[in-house]
Amino acid sequence: MSSPRLAIDVLTLFPGMFGGYFDESIMRRAREKGLVEIGIRDLRDWATGRHRSVDDAPYGGGAGMVMLAGVVCAAVEALRREGSRVVLLSPQGAILDQAAAGRLADAGHLILISGHYEGVDERVRGLVVDEEISIGDFVVSNGSLAAMVLIDAVVRLVPGVVGDERSVREDSFSSGLLDHPHYTRPRQFRGLEVPAVLLGGDHDAIRRWRRREALRRTLERRPDLLARARLTAEDRALLEEIRGGERGEMPCG
């Protein structure tokens, strides 16, 4: 059997959290196809001493416990190979976005460190971590939840995982914008109609409508994304039409 396109090792204190998630839907199919290999590693396997401790009280006092540098470093060093990328899930990291997910999908081998308690001993960052990633400016119970989110975002970008490659390319954020609206049968539901342009068979008109609606949604809901989006001349013209409509003006042309 050929090697997977992407191997992921997750270092966690809660391996039981991952079972059901990886046995369903896209994750299950990706593993069955041999495209992705996921190993859930219990950090306690690298603990030493009579009590096999994985954490201790922080120097200087304070609430909570800190994960031991020796345990985390030993685990990473046992799993790391040439080309491995070691990622610490941390609220102090760069926010996960579609560009980061795409970059990690090409990594070959990821080692994800799921933090817990008050986090990891600071020396872990300098010794074995390549980068830190956060899934958002909020707090979750432990880094295993964040690892699941990151894995999902990354795995679906591995070639061959999603059956229809277009659905990946057209996802929200893939072009720097939010996604356009989607409709399916029936044509009318509770008095609401599917936009006529989607029923006419004019593929260029459909493309233009979808792009316009993606721009409209992004302008209304996440205008900050427009500053970074790769906009074409047509995009800019569509934005002018949208803004003109909001001001009650008739678009030119």
**Domains of the chain by start residue, with CATH:** 6-155 (3.40.1280.10), 188-246 (1.10.1270.20)
Catalytic residue among 5, 41, 125, 156: 156
What pLDDT is recorded for position 176? Answer: 87
What pLDDT is recorded for position 167? Answer: 60
What pLDDT is recorded for position 2? Answer: 73
Residue with tokens 């009579």: 50
152 assigned to active site:
no
- Crossing angle of the two packed helices 143-155 and 98-105, in degrees rounded to 10: 80
37 assigned to active site:
no
What pLDDT is recorded for position 173? Answer: 64
Quote the pTM value.
0.84
**Any residues with CB less than 8 A from the CB of 216 and at least 6 apart, and which?**
242
DSSP characters for 40-85? EEEGGGG--TTTT--EEPPTT--SS-EE-HHHHHHHHHHH--TT-E
What is the distance between the alpha carbons of residues 122 and 207, in angstroms, rounded to a whole number? 50
What is the distance between the alpha carbons of residues 102 and 6, in angstroms, rounded to a whole number? 12
What pLDDT is recorded for position 251? Answer: 44
What is the distance between the alpha carbons of residues 248 and 237, in angstroms, rounded to a whole number? 17
As beta bridge partners, residue 113 has 11, 88
Q: Pick from 35, 105, 47, 111: which is nearest to 79 by CA?
A: 111
Whether 12 and 44 have beta carbons less than 8 Å apart is answered as no
What pLDDT is recorded for position 25? Answer: 87
Catalytic residue among 91, 213, 216, 235: 91
166 assigned to active site:
no
What pLDDT is recorded for position 253? Answer: 39
Is the alpha carbon torsion for 209, 210, 214, 215 positive or negative?
negative
What pLDDT is recorded for position 63? Answer: 86
What pLDDT is recorded for position 16? Answer: 93
CA dihedral 106, 109, 114, 118 (to 10 degrees): -90
Q: Pick from 236, 111, 98: which is nearest to 174 by CA?
A: 98
As beta bridge partners, residue 56 has 66
Catalytic residue among 97, 170, 171, 179: 171
DSSP reduced 3-state for 232: coil
Going from the first residue of the chain to its last (253 residues), give the mean pLDDT of each consecutive group of 10, the final group possibly shorter. 89 92 89 96 95 93 93 98 96 94 97 89 97 93 93 95 67 77 96 97 97 97 93 97 77 42
Catalytic residue among 42, 45, 118, 240: 118
